[in-house]
């Protein structure tokens, strides 16, 4: 099996309130949040010693992009470390606000929607071979991605003509196209911006922007992992699957989101109908066959096991999902809360819970609270998240970047880096281009680091 590079980019929602009232605009809070970053990085767009990138994105959304990871679980570990990194900024900013006499609490939400219908995303990046043209497989990939919310949707109460409904996905309502180059105007499922940050003759980037941001490890691992497995099958021209192109992916994604049982049928281009559960089971069955005949990596095999168990639970009515998957964990607690206080789903208190589930604060955030109380389990452990805050992945180019940045800091030297380049800002302007994201050792970088320390 060819190794693959994975990366996740997560945008966070931000607010600062006092007794429910907004204290600062998102722009103002973001400035407080990034002031310490700007102080040491002279910019609100910096690379960290863990190899990841922290920046203030369009619309004042703090964003963390993981470093290049060579496994599914590693990508999920660094994605989770992003929460800790952002939470450190929150603590820091609240302290500074207090010093300036501004009262209020900063909330950072790892969700995908606000109350006014704006959306912000969690983008997945898969490094693929240049020879594998997405146009050859995207019509078949889209039904998978559209139904994937059944395992990795983050759940949301949505107001419909027939009252409030608990839906699978935060993003479903905000996706308007199958494949395109747009991001903010008209969001597609797959974005065609091909930025491999690597030798473009050999590699391309597949950029999936339809997914929800996940709090739960199982949802996150399934989101990235099942996509990776399906991608393996689609990239293998010798592996045949029946074509299940959807008639309208955009209608299907909304219809599927409205039904947490996964049973509602959606139309295929052929005129046939399949439910989200049918579609996911279709890809799972093929993945089992692929594993048996072509093989999968050890990690992909563990994802396959979790995928099988998860779909079986959905098939059997959902018992067991309430500790594993984001949408089900949140639904379980929302229903218990609404019942306890005799509230309808559209009561402000319930909507606040729907939002505060995603608060990244370790104590105040409801997902984190549930996790601490043992009400959330991770079937596949993502590993040392705290360690991932400060240390880069050992097996990819991120290791070189992390070492370069650490040495520059220790030596007090001024440097500039991006995904590919490492540069010393002195008269000689020495620069090394690292075009192979799989390479974690490089003599040229060793020499550059030696020059830093000289």
Q: Please report, as ranges, the residues that interact with another protein according to CB under 8 A.
A: 11, 13-15, 17, 19-22, 26, 57-61, 109, 114-116, 118-121, 166, 183-184, 187, 209, 260, 317-319, 321-322, 328, 331-333, 335-340, 342, 344, 348-349, 351-353, 355-356, 363-364, 366, 369-370, 373-375
Q: Give 237: exposed, middle or buried? Use CB within 10 Å, 0-12, 13-18, 19+.
A: exposed
The residue (of 132 and 356) whose beta carbon lies closer to another protein is 356
The Cα–Cα gap between 30 and 18 comes to 17
Which residue in the list 2, 27, 57, 217 is annotated as catalytic?
Answer: 57
> Strands across the sheet with 53-57, in order?
45-47, 53-57, 61-65, 6-11, 122-129, 203-208, 188-191, 177-180
Q: CB 129 → another protein: shortest distance, Å?
A: 26
The residue (of 26 and 52) whose beta carbon lies closer to another protein is 26
Q: Dihedral of the CA atoms 404, 196, 153, 165 (nearest 10)?
A: 120
The Cα–Cα gap between 431 and 404 comes to 12
Q: CB 66 → another protein: shortest distance, Å?
A: 17
The residue (of 351 and 408) whose beta carbon lies closer to another protein is 351
> Is 218 a catalytic site residue?
no
The Cα–Cα gap between 145 and 25 comes to 34
CA end-to-end span of the chain, whole Å?
42
- Residue 273 tokens, joined: 């109908």
CA distance to 14, 50, 220, per residue, from 10 (Å)? 13, 16, 12
- Residue 300 tokens, joined: 């992909």
Residue with tokens 């739960």: 216
Q: CB 39 → another protein: shortest distance, Å?
A: 25
DSSP for 126-154 reads EEEETTS-HHHHHHHHHHHHHHTHHHH--
Contact 370, 376 (CB under 8 A): yes
Q: CB 339 → another protein: shortest distance, Å?
A: 6
Q: CB 213 → another protein: shortest distance, Å?
A: 11
Q: Return the SS3 of 36.
A: helix
Q: CB 454 → another protein: shortest distance, Å?
A: 43
Buried b (16+ CB within 10 A) or exposed e, 62-82: bbbbbbbbbbbbbbbbbbbbb
As beta bridge partners, residue 9 has 65, 123
The residue (of 116 and 240) whose beta carbon lies closer to another protein is 116
The residue (of 232 and 371) whose beta carbon lies closer to another protein is 371
Q: CB 348 → another protein: shortest distance, Å?
A: 4
Q: Return the SS3 of 431.
A: strand
Contact 285, 149 (CB under 8 A): no
Q: To 5 degrees, how large is the angle CA 324–CA 82–CA 206?
A: 80
Residue with tokens 């099958």: 233
> Strands across the sheet with 415-417, in order?
415-417, 421-424, 431-433
Q: CB 318 → another protein: shortest distance, Å?
A: 4
Contact 434, 423 (CB under 8 A): no
- Give the count of beta carbons closer than 10 Å to the beta carbon of residue 453: 10
Catalytic residues: 57
């Amino acid at each position: 099996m060819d190794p693959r590079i994975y990366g996740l980019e997560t945008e966070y929602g931000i607010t600062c309130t006092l007794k429910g009232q907004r204290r600062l605009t998102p722009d103002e809070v973001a400035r407080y949040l990034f002031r310490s970053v700007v102080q040491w990085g002279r910019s609100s767009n910096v690379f960290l010693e863990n190899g990841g990138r922290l920046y203030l994105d369009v619309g004042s959304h703090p964003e963390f992009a993981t470093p290049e990871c060579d496994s599914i679980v590693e990508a999920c570990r660094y994605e989770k470390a992003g929460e800790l990194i952002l939470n450190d900024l929150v603590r820091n900013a609240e302290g500074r606000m207090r010093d300036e006499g501004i009262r209020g609490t900063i909330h950072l939400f790892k969700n995908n929607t606000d109350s006014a219908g704006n959306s912000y995303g969690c983008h997945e990046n898969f490094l693929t071979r240049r020879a594998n043209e997405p146009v050859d497989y995207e019509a078949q990939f889209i039904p998978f991605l559209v139904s994937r919310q059944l395992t990795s949707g983050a759940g949301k109460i949505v107001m419909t003509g027939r009252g409030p409904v608990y839906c699978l996905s935060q993003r479903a309502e905000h996706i308007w196209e199958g494949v395109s180059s747009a991001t903010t105007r008209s969001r597609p499922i797959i974005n065609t911006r091909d930025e491999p940050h690597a030798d473009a003759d050999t590699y391309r980037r597949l950029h999936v922007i339809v997914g929800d941001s996940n709090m739960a490890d199982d949802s996150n691992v399934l989101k990235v992992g099942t996509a990776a497995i399906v991608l393996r099958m689609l990239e293998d021209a010798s592996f045949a699957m029946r074509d299940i192109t959807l008639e309208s992916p955009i209608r299907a994604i909304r219809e599927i989101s409205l039904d947490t049982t996964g049973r509602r049928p959606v139309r295929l281009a052929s005129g046939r109908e399949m439910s989200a559960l049918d579609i996911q089971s279709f890809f799972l069955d093929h993945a089992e066959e692929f594993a048996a005949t072509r093989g999968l990596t050890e990690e992909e095999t563990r994802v396959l096991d979790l995928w099988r168990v998860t779909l079986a639970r959905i098939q059997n009515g959902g018992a067991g999902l309430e500790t594993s998957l984001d949408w089900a964990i949140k639904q379980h607690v929302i229903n218990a809360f609404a019942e306890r206080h005799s509230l309808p789903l559209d009561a402000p208190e319930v909507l606040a819970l729907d939002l505060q589930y995603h608060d990244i604060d370790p104590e105040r955030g409801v997902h984190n609270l549930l996790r601490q109380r043992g009400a959330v389990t991770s079937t596949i452990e993502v590993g040392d998240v705290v360690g991932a805050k400060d240390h880069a992945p050992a097996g990819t180019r991120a290791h070189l970047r992390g070492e370069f940045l650490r040495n520059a800091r220790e030596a007090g030297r001024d440097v500039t880096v991006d995904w590919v380049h490492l540069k010393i800002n002195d008269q000689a302007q020495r620069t090394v281009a690292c075009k192979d994201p799989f390479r974690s050792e490089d003599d040229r970088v060793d020499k550059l680091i030696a020059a830093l320390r000289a």
